[in-house]
A and B are shown apart, each in its own frame.
Chain A
Amino acid sequence: MIWAVAAIMALSVAVGLLWPLGSKASVRSGRVSKTMAIYEDQLSEVERDQERGLITASEAQAAQVEIKRRMLGAGEDEAPVAERSGKGGIIASALFVPVAAFALYTQIGAPNVPTVPFAERADEQRDAAQLQTLLGELKSRLESDPEGGETRGWTLLATTLMNQNRYSEAADAFSKLIDRDDATSATFSQYAEALILAENGTVTPLAGRIIAKSAELDPTNPAATYYSAIEQDQAGNSAQARALLLDRIAEEGQPAPWMPTFLTLANNIGTQLGEEPVTLPEFETPSGPKQDDIEAASEMSEEDREAFIRTMVDGLEERLQDEPENLDGWLQLARSLMVLGEQDRALAALKSAQPLVSNLPADDPRRLTVETGLAQLGFD
């Protein structure tokens, strides 16, 4: 359909561009004849002005002499110009325009995206309205609860509101949680995030206190560090803010999913300070295979390779007995064991990782990996 209409458009444009081929020569198209027309007009205007008494006869005469002198200077029309010699150019242009436009359109267009008038999206709006109703019901149920409402309920309400960019309402919901015994560092940092987003990125004094509390509960919570850096930067201590971020990356000692975000902020602050952008440090992958090992593995036969991988995995498992806090190590081990089909050992690895993720925010990818892994293996 769209291509048919576009083709009709392109065709009409081509026909339009061919139009000059069919037109007839006009009688007075040359420069001199057009100019003469203007001067003749000027002469008659002088006559009329004189008749009307706007200028005296002598003034009129002087003006007429001047105009006539211009008429003499205008010269003769050039010889009749070539007729239709440029047929080829016109035809070529009528071909060029549609073809080139199609070529350009295929680069920039999105022909498969339909037009969706707002009025035709009643279903979607009803769903959205329903979600609002549910949220409203949830909220009033939690509020009417004499014991303050379940923590899980408030968390659900707050995170849903955050997803809908309703930051100040989300902040309200989080504020109900912070005085509870089960409030973790993540509760505080999420509350701070809602407060900051509600103020379009400004860290208010209240948000600052919440961040401090979050950092106090868990100094390793990256969100707390991130928002303290923003707070420092807004307070004018940009250099400290940048150092805070970079130090935290260095402390971690191994790659983590939050690092790119940290680095972007650090470099943005760095640009303002006139510092060169930095990149993530080269981390020694603590327990993974070295580059040489990978190359060695790729040259082996199928059995040899599996045996090699098993050695690697066994080595990792052994090493992890000594460093039980190495979450990424446990995750890698579990992943490798799943690939090797050793579900029991994978389950054991995930169980070892479980206490390490219990303090992480609910949407942390590592926590999700552990939880989904345990669920898959039938352990809950």
Chain B
Amino acid sequence: MIPELGQFALALALMAALVQSLLPIIGATRGDRTWMESAQTTAVVQALLVAFAFGALMHAYIISDFTVLNVVENSHSLKPMLYKVAGTWGNHEGSLLLWVLILALFGAAVAVFASNIPLALKARTLSVQAWISVGFLSFLILTSNPFERVFPPPLDGQDLNPLLQDFGLAIHPPLLYIGYVGFSIVFSFAVAALIEGRVDPAWARWVRPWTLAAWTSLTGGIALGSWWAYYELGWGGWWFWDPVENVSFMPWLAGTALLHSAIVTEKRDTFKAWTILLAILTFSLSLLGTFIVRSGLLTSVHAFAVDPERGVYILGLLAVSILGSLALFAWRAPAMESGGLFAPISREAGLLINNLLIATACATVLFGTLYPLFLEAITNEKISVGPPFFNASFIPITLPLIIVMGIGPHLSWKRADLPGVLARLKWLAVIVLLATLVILWIANGGPLLAVISMGIAVWLIGATLQDWARRAKLFQPGAWARIRRQPRASHGMTMAHLGLGVLMMGAIGSSAWKSDTVAFAEKGTIVPIAGFEIIFEGIEQVRGPNYIAQVASLKVTQDGEYITNLYPERRVYPVAGSTTTESDIRQTLAGDLYVSIAEPASEDAAGLWTLRLIYEPLVNFLWIGSVMLVLGGALSLSDRRLRVGAPRRAVPTNATPAE
């Protein structure tokens, strides 16, 4: 009965969303208060209904109710409970249900918490949000019903893949989706503002917490996915420029640009059309990602063409929402008068450069992701656009961005004093130069671009710290009190910018100075890597709860001195009939030593094992930097106060207290 009630709840939710998509927005046009207010209740009702449906599906997974086809296909009675629960969203139908749930939850959150927003704007926003809900709920019910039933039920489920039973994988999609789908509410705010024909600093202020929340969880979701790939897949890489990664990275880039452009709108009443456009594009990229991942386009363009029902439906949704909102934008945006003026050297200009560079970077990724798909569709030729393309195109765009990023926060609004700022930063420049030389010396050569990039990362960290110290007047009495009184958003900015610098160091270090060896080892073999010696001491058979493992024992020494022992494993699961590789890692701040074993090199070479050794310098900086980015977002989110641009006078050196 419960799955059927879930199905019924979905039907109710679709109908409630239909009502919500019409009544409030018509009410806003007619000035009907009751109709506008109805948005708040329908949004909450809709969220409760979808949550009920999601709970019903999860219940079916927990009790292993194999009358639900979705459970049959994606679960098994012998799975550990955690992965039964996670199985709810680990498949097409369930993950779409989660998508719709998050969509509805964001609508309900605006209905309940956004009490400072004018009723008409709120009503229009929630109606637009409901349009998206109608699209996806109907997609779910008509083409991807999670509550499809089978009777009599099969004896047991079909999915018992040990590789997919991983904690990181279980929580990665929900986090990613909160970010992805969170941008929907920002999109709805933008479309509502276009319909209303009004964008002002107050609008930007109302939208900010929602953008920040979406951005923060998207950041966390991407970082977690990368972390999972690094630790679980056992390939020793953390980013592959894989289409699935790219489609989550593009909304992140656009969302980052949006976050910065919205600050200008909020403080200086300008960049309005651009902010709206970014809000539309960010969510459009999220939709594009959903389409690419969910339509099966990635496996093969032709597989998609053979069974196109789902893909065509999402493509239709994509076309309607993107083209519709862009058309609305083209019609309404020219009417938006620009507010505050600013000089070519100012905080505004700095943020403009930031936006242009990020947008270009995002376009590059978009091109690299879509080009192979188009090529395959047209010429039938399958190519993959990999790291060489992205390294050659993405990095040259981001390096100038990072340099400007260090200077930007030092500039004041409206009109900044560039010579003054540069004079302030000249000592830092000297330090960065010295640091770069030191890195060049330590790295003993290495790719020049990597050394320069390292220098730029040091520059970003130094400049950010200097800006923070200057604002706090760190070396004057009462600094602690000043730090505490500063708005949290400003600390959040510092934290996030520092985080990016740290993350950069990790990214550069682990890709430019990575060492990678494959060796055939027998008892006593010594393999040197990155200044360590790895001594293969033998293999031992170990019996686990549901597997048999061959555990290699490796001794690690450096210059003859004992460092540690590592025990990589190869596990065979007889019941599931599969094998997994469990690598072992020695983690330090300086770098990770990553070892894994594969099966014996060949059948006749008994006792000879294949060892894979990787040394990734600074790789942990990636995760530290990511945590700092998320913390920065969370800090800013906890600051509800407004930021108002305080313009400097034309000649700041002559500034004297007025009055």
Interface residues of A (CB under 8 A from B): 1-2, 5-6, 9-10, 13, 16-17, 19-21, 23, 25, 29-31, 34-35, 37-39, 41-42, 45-46, 49, 52-63, 66-67, 70, 74, 78, 81-87, 89-90, 93, 96-98, 100-102, 104-105, 108-111, 113-119, 121, 124-125, 128
Contacts and interface: CB of A to CB of B under 8 A. Distances in A.
Interface string B293-314: 0000000000000000000000
B65 A93 contact: no
A17 B5 contact: no
B66 A20 contact: no
A85 B117 CA distance: 23
Nearest to A63: B646
B35 A90 contact: yes
Interface size class for chain B?
35 or more
Given A9-B8, A34-B118, A118 B63 contact: yes
Interface centre among B38, B64, B641 (most CB of A within 10 A): B38
A25 B14 CA distance: 29
Given A19-B41, A58-B657, A81 B15 contact: no
Nearest to B201: A70
B116 interface: yes
Interface string B267-310: 00100000000000000000000000000000000000000000
Nearest to B485: A52
A13 B16 contact: yes
Given A58-B655, A110-B149, A113-B67, A38 B201 contact: yes
A101 B12 contact: yes
Interface centre among A97, A110, A125 (most CB of B within 10 A): A97
A359 to B, nearest CB: 35
Interface in B13-60: 14-16, 18-19, 23, 27, 30-35, 37-38, 40-42, 44-45, 49, 60
A104 B641 contact: no
11 contacts: A56-B658, A66-B340, A66-B645, A70-B201, A74-B200, A82-B30, A84-B34, A105-B7, A108-B145, A115-B63, A118-B63
B554 interface: no
Nearest to B145: A108
B67 A116 contact: yes
A61 B655 CA distance: 13
Contacts of A37: 116
Contacts of A113: 3-4, 67, 149, 151
Contact of B4 (A2, A83, A84, A90): A2
A17 B48 CA distance: 13
B11 A20 contact: no
B9 interface: yes
Interface string B338-367: 011000000000000000000000000000
A29 B118 contact: yes
Interface string B55-98: 00000100111110000000001000000000000000000000
B34 A86 contact: yes
Contacts of B649: 58-59, 62
The 4 closest A-B CB pairs, nearest first, are A118-B64, A117-B63, A31-B118, A55-B646
A70 B49 CA distance: 42
A67 B49 CA distance: 43
Contacts of A110: 4, 149, 151
A294 B228 CA distance: 70
B332 interface: no
B120 interface: yes
A184 B655 CA distance: 104
Interface string B467-490: 000010000000000100110000
Interface of B: 1-5, 7-9, 11-12, 14-16, 18-19, 23, 27, 30-35, 37-38, 40-42, 44-45, 49, 60, 63-67, 77, 116-121, 141, 145, 147, 149, 151, 153, 155-156, 198, 200-202, 205-206, 269, 339-340, 471, 482, 485-486, 641-649, 655-659
B8 A56 contact: no
Contacts of A39: 201-202
Nearest to B28: A81
B452 to A, nearest CB: 35
Given A49-B646, A86-B27, A81 B11 contact: no
Given A13-B45, A52-B485, A93 B19 contact: yes
A102 B11 CA distance: 8
Given A6-B5, A35-B200, A108-B11, A60 B19 contact: no
A89 B35 contact: yes
A289 B12 CA distance: 56
Given A62-B646, A89-B35, 12 more contacts: A16-B45, A31-B198, A37-B116, A38-B116, A42-B642, A42-B644, A54-B646, A70-B269, A83-B34, A105-B8, A115-B3, A116-B153
A39 B67 CA distance: 58
Given A45-B644, A96-B19, A117-B64, A20 B8 contact: no
Contact of A21 (B16, B34, B340): B34
Contact of B200 (A13, A66, A70, A109): A70
Contacts of A53: 482
A89 B23 contact: yes
Given A9-B9, A119-B63, A97 B15 contact: yes
A104 B67 contact: no
A24 to B, nearest CB: 10
Contacts of A29: 33, 118-119
A113 B352 CA distance: 59
A30 B118 contact: yes
Contacts of B5: 2, 5-6, 9
B32 A81 contact: yes
A38 B15 contact: no
Given A17-B41, A23-B37, A57-B659, A6 B202 contact: no
Contacts of A1: 1
Contact of A38 (B8, B49, B156, B202): B202
Contacts of A115: 1-3, 60, 63, 65, 67
Nearest to A66: B340
A225 to B, nearest CB: 25
A95 B202 CA distance: 37
A82 B121 CA distance: 17
Nearest to A78: B31
A318 B156 CA distance: 55
A42 B116 CA distance: 14
B437 to A, nearest CB: 37
Contact of B12 (A9, A38, A74, A81): A9
Nearest to B117: A34
Contacts of A67: 644
A10 to B, nearest CB: 7
A361 B425 CA distance: 87
